[in-house]
Amino acid sequence: MPGLMTFDALKAEVEEGRIDTVLTCLVDMQGRLMGKRFVAQHFVDSAWAETHCCNYLLATDLEMATPDGYAATSWRAGYGDYVLKPDLATIRPMPWLEGTVMVLCDVLDHTTHAEVPHSPRAVLKRQIARAEAMGFTPVMATELEFFLFEKSFAEIARGGYRELTPISGYNEDYNILQTSREEHVMRPLRNHLWAAGIPVENSKGEAEAGQEELNIRYAPAMDTADHHTIAKHATKEIADQMGHAASFLPKWHHERVGSSSHVHQSLWKDGANAFHDPQGELGMSELMRRYMAGLIRHAPDMTVFMAPYINSYKRFAKATFAPTKTVWSVDNRTAGFRLCGANSKAVRVECRIPGSDMNPYLAMAAQLAAGLAGIEEGLELQPPTTGDIYEAAKGGEIPKTLRDAVETLTGSTMLRAAMGDDVIDHYTRCARWEIEEFDRVVTDYEIARGFERA
């Protein structure tokens, strides 16, 4: 598979005139790529060592507004600089952009050159280091679900986001005829990502008109988060090149199913899946049982990191394949946590709570923190729940709103211990700002419902 480039290979490509642009990217709080486009020769001459960005990039909202209330930066502090330190192990081509490669950067304090603790990659690194100190390598995979629309981003924006027509006319789950009509987007997406070193396995139609799913092979946790972020970015860019919009909004219409991003996870040791015990019930090791118990116990604490916006919570509805309860079951898509690969070396847990809008670094870090807490605390896994879990009388509830979830996160002693007070306070401020912004807006729903009849 083509893909990752060494720095020496990049210098040779620049020398030969095949590469002229280097994207130096950080991952922001929303999971987006932000950064600069360097003339490739300048990058290989000097910018490979470090460059700089405004520190507001880790304290903005989706609109790039600058809310107050962050301890890390503010108008009062003058919005200074961060150092962007290119991780040269992440250089890869972006084949859908001519003559272009990208590199991911770590975000460092401008004065101390210490890694900024609330940077998404740093948050995940901290939990990976915890697992490694226990002798384990976290291995994960994410599923990317999204909708393709007939019109482009620009056309939809000009229409006020009111006339949204999916690219296909009916549920296309596993439907080859329907997805053949979308291959002008999906084929280049798969192939370009493969050429960029993203181990794409397949794409398929999902359970709604115009809904797609992209599946990428499991990998060490940091690689998985990088793959997810680059794939999501590429999906939007390639769809836009083809005159379409690709949206990762979890719930774009109340009568349509939502888009998720399920996270599969296991811990490995000495090159083997430490979650597997052929003598254990369902092939699960005691380690796995305690890890899963941690996920379930702490699911409400970490929901903000899996469902970060107001809209995220519209997805949690009965009979939509999105969970409503924090229980586990065996190969059951109505549960918050699904046991996959039972009685096999591939046994793993799938967390079905995250939506398509998650920041993978934060969501995966929170799940790792919860699972590792379950191991450290020696938690016991309760028996699986069976049947239609939407109707189950027992089982914890996923927070129903962002307001509920942020209050739970604020009081989470587990996540504060795992991530640090500064990180939790930073992201609770982010969530509260989303609530404040929503609360001040008069929605189309309110006007249509009450304009005459109220």
Fold (topology level) of 7-116:
Ubiquitin-like (UB roll) (3.10.20)
Which tokens is 422 given? Answer: 């500064």
**How many Å apart are CA 225 and CA 119, to the nearest integer?**
13
- Amino acid 333: pLDDT: 87
**Closest Cα to residue 355, out of 432, 263, 438?**
263
Bridge-partner residues for 39, per DSSP? 21
Looking at the chain, the domain(s) classified CATH 3.30.590.10 span 127-445
**Positions of the chain with pLDDT lower than 50, given as ranges:** 1
Indicate the class that CATH gives domain 127-445.
alpha beta
- Amino acid 1: pLDDT: 45
Looking at the chain, the domain(s) classified CATH 3.10.20.70 span 7-116
On the CB side of 310, CA atoms within 13 Å amount to 11
Cβ-contact 388, 321 below 8 angstroms: no
